[in-house]
Structure 1
Amino acid sequence: MVERNVLSASDVTIEYPSHSVSPAFTAVKGFTLTVAPGEIVGLVGSSGSGKSTLAHVASGQAALRASKEPSPKIIGGSLEVLGLELRNIRRGKLGRLTLGVGYVAQDAGSKLTSNMTVAELVAEPLLLRDRRYDRHEAGLKAATLIDALLLPVGTMLKLPHELSSGQRQRVAVARGLILDPVLLIADEPTAGVDVSVRSAVVDVIAGLQRARGASALIVSHDLDTLRRSADRVAVIHEGVVVGLGPIDDVLADPRHPYVVRLAEELNGDAPDADEYGEDELEDDDYEQDEIHDEPATGDEPATGDELETDDGDGLPTDDETRGIR
């Protein structure tokens, strides 16, 4: 018997509804992708390509927040996650979805509760799901994840403001993994993380999910970060998949100008910026943190090398004027 895909998207169109003075905007159009049980898939694209919108919708978070804020909505095609059709899903079924889907937002590290220690933050999802869960066991599980994500165990006693941006993001990743999700959807999980450990962090995510027989959809702008860990990558451009398969296969035989550009960037033979236009060559800048930061005081971590911005990874970007991640 063939196992059902944990995620199956067929010709999906996603729209941001009109609100205030802003008209409706289609962020994703005609997106098709599957994620098999135990598979690690990377979703690669530039800022504005629709990849974060897809992650937000596929995780069920967009539907959960729809009553409080303008949220993207599926208006065409089919998106099935863990056997649940997300198009027009009823709120009563969202609880079933979130039981099996973990989600790490791109800015998750910046939204950690300020008066909770890292130990409390990482263990909290376990205790919220089951208030009788053994707190000592929860603490041990949290510590194991913190250590796996290359953070000192002493980090467990710190508050978020004592950490750098990259350290906070890794705490958010640990929080997303603590419930052993069947599918983890991680949107730029290495945002702000020092370039020297980005690949290692993704390796940990992929390794933990594989060991459980679970899956992951990892959203990134950085092919190098995914190269060792992803079974396949889907390259998305203007809301459409323009490359799909193992990374080396996709780059070796690009079928779309955008994928050609990615291959050239990784090979170091990209043409001058003038040929493509200045906007297409801008990168998202991410703050970096050292693997072992010095203690920081105040609301923000101490400045220094750990907070230097990265010049990016050379991927071209789409039009960012619409405010879609």
Structure 2
Amino acid sequence: MKRTINCLTAAAIFCLLLTGCGDGSGDMQAELLEPETVDATGSGKASEAEAEPEPTAEPEIKLLCSAGHTEEEDLQVRQAVEELYQNMELEEYLGEGIHMVSNESWYETMAADLVEGARTYLLQKGDEILFTVQVGVTISGERYSNAYYCKEDNMVLLKQEGSLVQVTMAQLKDNLYDGSFEQVTIDSETGAIRIEHGTCAQGLRVGEYSVMVKPGTGAGDPYDLWSMRENFSYETTVTEYDAQGNEIQPEPTPTPEPTATPKPTKKPTATPKPTPTPEPTPEPTPQPTPQPPVIQNPQPPASTPEPTPQPTPTPSSGPSSGDVDIEWSPDIE
């Protein structure tokens, strides 16, 4: 009964994962195990009960999903999926996986004749799904790939779209990130790289979480950038989270005020002489205006005497000597 339930559950999971697989032109082909009836009554012959069970052959790995390709195309798809699966099993081969999904031949094989939507491919071994690949086209016409590998709660997710490649490596518990976490994002168009390190608990970031960023300096091959990522210089930002996944704000550190250094007093070259204080100039004392003396009983001024006329002298009668031709004339009055 238990085996019957497991088979039915696996069939239901595959149907959900493969919904929308391909471009609608082909039928999904998946092998489903028929439920076996187990005799729970305990009846049977003793010889049959004592018979040794036949060795069970190891389940075969099968590729689930067909997009209506030819047998040759289906073989190429299976080979590509298995090669990518092997590259993602070990971290040292992840660069090869990045090179695969960044190559044009990958989409020519995995997304042939795909105009829109997505195709999903599964590698299955018995009841276990080993590997999942999804290849599709976005609304803007950009092709993308998602490859998912998980084993013993350790998962690797490889995503490619346009010039971006992202690799996420994390530990899982109940389908949630729980444990160490690392994510590397590469932009081959600019050469920029972003690396995130941290720890998660039930899907929440806890403790120290660092982000390292390498600015773009020029286009580069995704494989080369991945292989040399540890040799570049990065700008690092560290953030602390509490147990509830809340960011812890750092307490501001008070900025110390600089202590003023006293400057030495310069020694004077000569002893300065004191500047004499000028004495104030005394203001002149105003002299009193002299008052004219008061004259008691003034006398009238003396009268000016009139001059006495003198008689006009009479000239003499004539010259005393000498010859004169002119006749003497009397005084002309």
- Relative to the length of structure 2, the TM-score reads 0.23
More helix by proportion, 1 or 2?
1
Structure with greater strand share of residues: 2
